[in-house]
Amino acid sequence: MRCEELEPIIEGLADGTADPGAEARAHLAGCALCTRRGSQARAIHELLVRREAPAPPPGFTAGVMARVQRQRWRAERAVDLGFNLAVAAGVLLIVAGGVGLAWSLGLLRIQANLAVLLEAGARLGGRVAPQAQTIGVAGLLLTMALGLWWWAEADSSF
Amino acid sequence: MRGTPEHELVERCRNGDETAFRELVEQYKGLVFAIMARSVAEPARAEELAQEAFLRVHQGLPYFRGEARLSTWIYRIVANLLAQERPDLATVSLDATFDDSDEPRVQPGADDRAFGDMMLRDRLDKAIRRLPVPYQVLVNGHYLKGLRYEDLAEALNMPMGTVKTHLHRAKRQLRHLLETEFR
Ligand SMILES: [Zn+2]
């Protein structure tokens, strides 16, 4: 047996997990190079066995929990932002609907002239009254959106 | 392993039980931190990475279906984080034979101070950090106890039967590094 054939199994010999066989044992007994490699491998193995595991610092778990909280808070903020944007879009839609409605009723033709505007304001009540149903639905939608928002806020802050 | 049975702990964590997650961290922090600290020289960075590992566990728990053991899954996260930390050492060819051109030309009776003095522990630490990350996790995990061959094989995507061989290769690389670069 040559040294190069023995070299790849030196680690197995050193940690006792490989059986070298009679031929290898005979070579080892008479070879200074392989004996030296074997003792180096054994020194490494023994040092690895003896090494103490580094312990985590005292505040480790608290640090993890704080980071988990921060992460949750950030996620909630993203959800909140999305929700606020959705509510704003809803409000905008309702306002646009109202403006459209007013336009279709001819209320917006009274621009600019303040006196006419005030006069029109008085008439507005009477003209909007028939549209009470539409305005009611819009109001209901807004209330539902705000309610949903409140519910999401309450649910995500456990 | 002490404490709550694994599946129960996972279930409680999934239901948002903070005490359960704290228990999970307490249970695994020793091994997770030790593996990180063995592979990353800077202690503050090692702690940060170990915390990051648990953060990923927390994020991943809703999707953890229990096909693997919890410990295996956690060690895989640790190995992935270390691979990201050292992209230059991220992989090892699992079926590559060791390149014998790396073999140092050592003559019998040559100066043996590389293995003889008190600084060996220090140099060994440095040499381990030069190994490919899977070998680092293999050597550190194996000698930290607590990690079985099955855990290591699964966490590193190695066939179970090759773990011992790879462990020997890793230690052989260590021996060569100590002979050549960390004398
Ligand atoms: Zn020989």
Residue B125 counted as domain residue:
yes
Give me ligand 1 centre to Cα A10, in Å.
Answer: 10
Instruction: Count structural domains, chain A.
Output: 2
Largest Cα separation within chain B, whole Å, is 64
For range B35-42, the mean pLDDT: 94
B85: nearest Cα among B47, B52, B40: B40
B117 touches chain A (CB under 8 A): no
Residue B99 counted as domain residue:
no
Assess whether B24 and B83 both reside in one domain: yes
- Cα separation, B75 vs B69, in Å, equals 10
Residue of B nearest to A14 (CA): B168
For range B26-33, the mean pLDDT: 95
pLDDT of the residue at A113: 66
Assess whether B85 and B125 both reside in one domain: no
Least confident interval from A125-129, B35-39, B79-83, B170-174: A125-129
Per CB-CB distance under 8 Å, the chain A contacts of B30 are 53, 55-56
Give me ligand 1 centre to Cα B43, in Å.
Answer: 41
Assess whether B69 and B23 both reside in one domain: yes
Assess whether B23 and B69 both reside in one domain: yes
CATH number reported for the structural domain that contains residue B17 in this entry: 1.10.1740.10
Closest Cβ opposite residue B120 in set A11, A31, A47? A47
Which two three-digit tokens encode residue B169? Answer: 């290769």
- Cα separation, A43 vs A52, in Å, equals 16
Domain that holds residue A40: 3-50
Provide the sign of the torsion angle of the four alpha carbons B9, B12, B14, B18, taken in this order.
negative
pLDDT of the residue at B93: 59
Residue A64 counted as domain residue:
no
Residue B36 counted as domain residue:
yes
Assess whether A87 and A141 both reside in one domain: yes
φ/ψ bin of B16: left (φ > 0), alpha (ψ from -120 to 50), beta (otherwise): left
Rounded to the nearest angstrom, the minimum Cα separation between B65 and chain A is: 21
- Cα separation, B8 vs B161, in Å, equals 31
* B73-to-A55, A71, A116, A117, B150 alpha-carbon distances in Å: 21, 21, 75, 71, 12
Query: Would the pLDDT of B31 be above 50?
Result: yes
> What pTM was computed for the model?
0.71
Tell me the residues of chain B between 11 and 70 that have a Cβ less than 8 Å away from chain A. Answer: 16, 18, 21-22, 25-26, 29-31, 33-34, 37-38, 46-47, 50-51, 54-55, 58-59
Assess whether A86 and A148 both reside in one domain: yes
Give me ligand 1 centre to Cα B113, in Å.
Answer: 20
| Listed residues: CB within 5 A of ion ligand 1 | A 3, 31, 33-34
Which of A75-79, B53-57, B110-114 is modeled with the greatest confidence? B53-57
pLDDT in tens, B158-181: 898 899 999 999 999 999 999 887
Residue A73 counted as domain residue:
no
Per CB-CB distance under 8 Å, the chain A contacts of B38 are 54
Instruction: Count structural domains, chain B.
Output: 2
- Cα separation, B91 vs B137, in Å, equals 12
Residue A97 counted as domain residue:
yes
Residue A139 counted as domain residue:
yes
CB B174 within 8 A of CB B139: yes
For range B144-160, the mean pLDDT: 86
Give me ligand 1 centre to Cα A8, in Å.
Answer: 12
pLDDT of the residue at B100: 46
pLDDT < 70: residue spans in chain A:
108-113, 117, 130, 153-158
Reported as a pLDDT band with limits 50, 70 and 90, residue B96 is: very low
Residue B149 counted as domain residue:
yes
Residue A120 counted as domain residue:
yes
Query: Would the pLDDT of B110 be above 60?
Result: no
pLDDT of the residue at A78: 82
Residue B24 counted as domain residue:
yes
Assess whether B86 and B24 both reside in one domain: yes
User: CB-based burial of residue A132 (10 Å sphere; 0-12 exposed, 13-18 middle, 19+ buried)?
Assistant: exposed
Residue B108 counted as domain residue:
no
Query: Would the pLDDT of B113 be above 80?
Result: no
Residue B135 counted as domain residue:
yes
pLDDT of the residue at B2: 54
Assess whether B86 and B9 both reside in one domain: yes
pLDDT of the residue at A112: 57
- Cα separation, B90 vs B159, in Å, equals 18
pLDDT of the residue at A48: 94
Residue A61 counted as domain residue:
no
Domain that holds residue B119: 113-180
Give me ligand 1 centre to Cα A1, in Å.
Answer: 8
Residue A46 counted as domain residue:
yes
pLDDT in tens, B125-139: 999 999 999 999 999
Assess whether A89 and A140 both reside in one domain: yes
Tell me the residues of chain B between 75 and 94 that have a Cβ less than 8 Å away from chain A. Answer: none
Assess whether A43 and A86 both reside in one domain: no
Residue B97 counted as domain residue:
no
Rounded to the nearest angstrom, the minimum Cα separation between A37 and chain B is: 9
